[in-house]
Chains A and B, each alone.
Chain A
Amino acid sequence: MCDQTFLVNVFGSCDKCFKQRALRPVFKKSQQLNYCSICAEIMATDGLHENETLASLKSEAESLKGKLEEERAKLHDVELHQVAERVEALGQFVMKTRRTLKGHGNKVLCMDWCKDKRRIVSSSQDGKVIVWDSFTTNKEHAVTMPCTWVMACAYAPSGCAIACGGLDNKCSVYPLTFDKNENMAAKKKSVAMHTNYLSACSFTNSDMQILTASGDGTCALWDVESGQLLQSFHGHGADVLCLDLAPSETGNTFVSGGCDKKAMVWDMRSGQCVQAFETHESDINSVRYYPSGDAFASGSDDATCRLYDLRADREVAIYSKESIIFGASSVDFSLSGRLLFAGYNDYTINVWDVLKGSRVSILFGHENRVSTLRVSPDGTAFCSGSWDHTLRVRKTSFHFAV
């Protein structure tokens, strides 16, 4: 059964009725077929029982959604900032830029840390993907992708490979080699194939599996070695823009956010959506789990960041300020989860006190929008990448309020 159909101008023989017609691609269990509009519409209403119409299904969904909101509200007995009243307020932070990485000739779109806490991989609009030792600012590897807008990149847990992708609709894995005789591009492995741009990718616990999110509205889990699709995740009603794997101990779940304003939590094993949250007013650009795994934060074009608790099954905090007008592109927590760093499209980084809900600090310095932001694996610094072609690694010192 298909869940989404798209209209595109292609003419040919319909895969169902074989007549020569204008065709549109249709997806049945991740397999693409080309149907003419009549067969596509028949398929859309396939599976309807008597007395059902699409309109009635839609209204049933709406009413269930309303009931769900009611149920969620029943157990909401206190607000986060009320609980946080007894926590000591944070004092002044000093966050200086300690490293500026220049070398991308164009907008930096994504970055990821290596587990060794100092290396990073970054990707940019012109197709360049660079691996840096950000501590020494040396560039260690560079590869040019055959496409522009490389919006996703990730470092493998072993530190021996990187993955990246963008407008090529694919996710490719490059093993990192220091052999001067070897061309990194030659060893490239095409792993994931989507039908629209790749927006995010992440290795799971090993180098052998990759999770991807795409503008085609789906997420997918792939086996790196064979490129085989292990599981696909359908349910977003529009482009999926971000994902994050849960640091949970037994389950394999991950959260994704998309242009349909929904944040969805998935079970990697079954492909099912286990929880969904829809309180943002615009595209969700970034999602990140709270370190305990019981909550996650999201950053959106509606200029707010929000905290969703998984056990309470609801949104529990909104981080916003009237003066913050531009969307948040990227969020990450400090190691203890007390601070939330968020990069915005107005070139700034705002630092939020997660518990009290207030803004602790605003950081200037970038000359164009901040597109990506990650705290280092040991929490000693954080790195932000921007459309001003640079990456900045900042450290923090914390001074108690006098």
Chain B
Amino acid sequence: MAMAAGSTSLGGRPRVQRPHLSKMERVVVNMQDPDHGVKMRSQRLLITVIPHAVAGTDIVEWLVQKFCISEEEALHLGTLLAQHGYIYPLREPRGLALLPDETPYRFQTPYFWTSTLWPASELDYAIYLAKKNIQKQGALADYEKEQYTLLHKKINHSWDLVVMQAREQLRAAKQRRKGDRMVILCQEQTYWLVNRPPPGVSNVLEQGPERGSCTSRRVQMIQSSDFYKREIECFRKALGRNRVKSSICLEAHMNFSSQRGPHDPIMSGCLPSNPWITDDVAYWAMNAPIVVAPTKLRVERWGFSFRELLDDPMGRAHFMDFLQKEFSAENLSFWEACEELRFGGQSQVPILVDTVYQQFLAPGAAHWVNIDSRTMERTLEGLHQPHRYVLDAAQLHIYMLMKKDSYPRFLKSDMYKGLLAEAVIPLETKRRAFQFLWKPLHSSPSPALQLASGEPIAASSPADDQEA
């Protein structure tokens, strides 16, 4: 077995950095298509004529047509292209914004694209600033002067090189035609506006903390035999799994969404009103976890699924009442105790397991639950080494029992029907006519205050202190 480590390359395809850049580049390339691109014209700037310019409004129009979007969206997209330096204004290249009028723009040369020339080198920046400084005293903006001084300190040892390069580039530029000179100046300026934005302008190239650091040059990931074996195992299991036909699954989503539509405030509104619209919290008060009179929609939801019923404290309470009438309340209590175990603190596990055993599983227990003998046997065995999942099998058995048996009976019961009949449908509260009559918004006590027993509840101050 040779050192197969040599064949371990970086697992999978290399990570594509910032896919949005190549997509933007495709857009600007399409914009420059002679047949289907944006209408090009020559732009006169004082006495010079610059070819291949486009008007801002034409850019927006082209985007509207090409992507079938609104003008607002097209302007937004065009602005992003400008902010990333793919198009630049010919006349006033101090800021990269897209104006939807006759303002002339040009497309940045691929040499200066972010994907080509990134990250921007400090040396290049120093040369650029030096050029600007040499050309015209005082041409540097304040922030540029600061940067210049900083760089001077930092790369002092190469400063001669910087100045020499700057002079050389200026000299070479003089030999070009005026038009070309102006264009190159704009291109460079745009590049630096993107890579060294002025204060107050956000850096569009900022990406946040580095990702996939395991695939960067510094760090190398070696996929070991374990990794592949695990993948193979995963795939084998996946191949053996039962799949459901798409038509059935998708039909289920349709039914789910249409059943829940009337219960979705975003889709159907909510009664009496959406608190965020009318500033009236009645909706929240009426739908608090425990209320005297639950709303009709809420009681209806208890009929959608067993989980929906259990998730609602009121629903669960009524279901418990029902089970008590049927003398099977210990099932729900057992299920609740199991949930407490599963999601409880690690240190509580032994105590909880013991409590559950004493109350529900031990022979002669006060709330003995009826589990099939095989599950009971396995569970009792597992109790010797208690862990938080030791009751899973028993819990599942009881859950299914309730779901398949007690729950359907509950839904057919007079109790549930009565709840449904009594349930409230709130009246709609229209938005207040005189909205400017400002009154403090209802502040509610924080749930965190429930812990502070005996301490006075801190009154929240009204909403008039919005700090900037």
Contacts and interface: CB of A to CB of B under 8 A. Distances in A.
B275 A380 contact: yes
B347 interface: yes
Contacts of A391: none
Contact of B67 (A3, A302, A321, A397): A321
B115 interface: no
B226 A2 contact: yes
Interface string B199-217: 0001000001101111100
Contacts of A71: 239, 243
Contacts, number: 404
B72 A138 contact: no
Contact of A57 (B232, B258, B264): B232
A246 B5 CA distance: 39
A326 B230 CA distance: 34
Main SS at interface, chain A: loop
A338 interface: yes
A31 interface: no
B251 A395 contact: no
A71 B242 CA distance: 10
Interface in A311-326: 311-314, 316, 321-323, 325-326
A323 to B, nearest CB: 4
A276 B239 CA distance: 12
Nearest to A388: B202
A199 B168 CA distance: 48
B339 interface: yes
Given A43-B224, A338-B257, A61 B247 contact: no
A47 B223 CA distance: 13
Interface in B451-468: 451-452, 455, 458, 460-463, 465-468
Interface residues of A, number: 153
A250 to B, nearest CB: 6
Interface string A52-63: 111101101100
Contacts of B74: 323
A400 B376 CA distance: 56
A17 interface: no
Given A43-B224, A215-B209, A335-B266, 4 more contacts: A4-B223, A78-B246, A249-B399, A301-B18
9 closest pairs, A vs B, by CB? A159-B447, A336-B260, A336-B264, A323-B67, A176-B448, A223-B346, A64-B235, A57-B228, A395-B276
Interface of B: 1-5, 7-8, 11-12, 15-16, 18-20, 23-24, 27, 63, 66-67, 69-70, 72-74, 76-77, 80, 202, 208-209, 211-215, 218-232, 234-239, 241, 243-254, 256-261, 263-270, 274-277, 281, 283-284, 287, 305-307, 339, 342-347, 388-389, 392, 396, 399, 441-444, 446-452, 455, 458, 460-463, 465-468
15 contacts: A5-B222, A40-B222, A46-B225, A60-B232, A99-B276, A135-B444, A196-B213, A225-B345, A239-B212, A283-B212, A335-B260, A337-B257, A339-B266, A380-B270, A381-B274
